[in-house]
Amino acid sequence: MKVEVKNLSKRYKNKYALKRVSFTLEGPKIYGLLGRNGAGKTTFMDVLAGNIFKTEGDILINGKDPQANEVLANSICLIKEGDNFDKELKIQELLQFYSYFYPNWDMDLAEQLIKEYHLDPKVKIKSLSKGMESALSITVGLASKAEITVFDEPYIGLDAAGRKMFYKQLLEEYENYPRMIIFSTHLIDEVSLLFEEILILREGELILQEEAESLREQTYAVSGSLEDIESFIQDKKVIHKQQLAGTMQAYVYGEEQEAQSLGFHTEGVPIQELMIYLTEKEGA
């Protein structure tokens, strides 16, 4: 499965939610779609799923427009943080409905997940707590086995144990049935090791697309005396720096071995920290 995004824009009156964004996604792969609130993540996912129309540009799946192709539309499952379902339906009715919509639907998996999350299939969705509704949303996303499965903050209301169970289930299903998974979250540190490729949006524009392992290898934190670190980073790509009582720590994009060879202390940069500083308005 290949998704091509070409000069994609979405404008609301005079404000761009997405501004001439271009990139390519190829699956099976787990993508982390990151950015601050208002960066354009949810807008992109809604356009991809056909929930809203683009203003300019194109999204093509295997070279075709999904909004004009029912088969392609049925290959995308978007799970948002809330209001995914008709509240008047019972859980068992909802699962049956989706079994007609998604050609690869796995009812056995759906029923298994319902049991694991302790959901009663006979109750109406409107009676579920926020956490229970998130568990149901996760169930639908995984059981859909859609070739493009999109999770936008899917676990609002789940506690740490529930989220951990979801990550485990996601990896198991990805191994059993490889597909393209696009995952947007603010709990980046919890899930960053799942990501194979990372995209970061800032104010509607794509500022980074990189293989996750490459990004981890090419960014590092270096610490030392203020004078020594200032001298070392003079010709480097510096993401962020901070100083305290005559010492400095800098986040650098480059080869960590150079800093280590000079005796500096180095360590990895968490993806969440990297996203925060890359999306700062000034000096980003």
Check whether residue 167 and residue 239 sit in a common domain. Answer: no
Report the CATH number at residue 274: 3.30.70
Check whether residue 109 and residue 242 sit in a common domain. Answer: no
Any domain includes 283: no
Among 219, 224, 205, which Cα is nearest to 251's?
A: 219
Check whether residue 32 and residue 102 sit in a common domain. Answer: yes
Number of domains in the chain: 2
Report the CATH number at residue 8: 3.40.50.300
Q: For position 281, what pLDDT does the model report? A: 55
From first CA to last CA, the distance across the chain in angstroms is 33
Q: For residue 9, give every residue at least 6 positions away whose Cβ sits within 8 Å of its Cβ, in sequence order, or none.
A: 16, 18, 19, 20, 21, 54, 55, 56, 57
Q: Lay out the sheet containing 2-12: strands in order across.
A: 15-26, 2-12, 56-61
Check whether residue 260 and residue 197 sit in a common domain. Answer: no
Q: How many alpha carbons lie under 13 Å from residue 149 in its C-beta half-sphere?
A: 25
Check whether residue 142 and residue 90 sit in a common domain. Answer: yes
Q: For position 140, what pLDDT does the model report? A: 96
| Burial readout 172-185 (b: 16 or more C-beta within 10 A, e: otherwise) | ebbeeeebbbbbbb
Task: Judge whether 153 and 184 are in contact, CB under 8 Å.
Answer: yes
Check whether residue 165 and residue 89 sit in a common domain. Answer: yes
Backbone angles phi, psi at 105, to 5 degrees: -55, 135
Any domain includes 209: no
Any domain includes 284: no
Range of the domain at 48: 2-203
Any domain includes 210: no
Q: Per residue of the chain (284 residues), what is the pLDDT tens digit?
A: 899 999 999 999 889 999 999 999 998 999 999 998 889 999 999 999 988 899 999 999 998 887 777 777 789 999 998 888 999 999 999 999 999 999 999 999 999 999 999 999 999 999 999 999 999 999 999 999 999 999 998 888 889 999 999 999 999 999 999 999 999 998 888 888 899 999 999 999 999 999 999 888 889 999 999 999 999 999 999 989 898 889 999 999 888 999 999 999 999 988 888 888 888 755 45
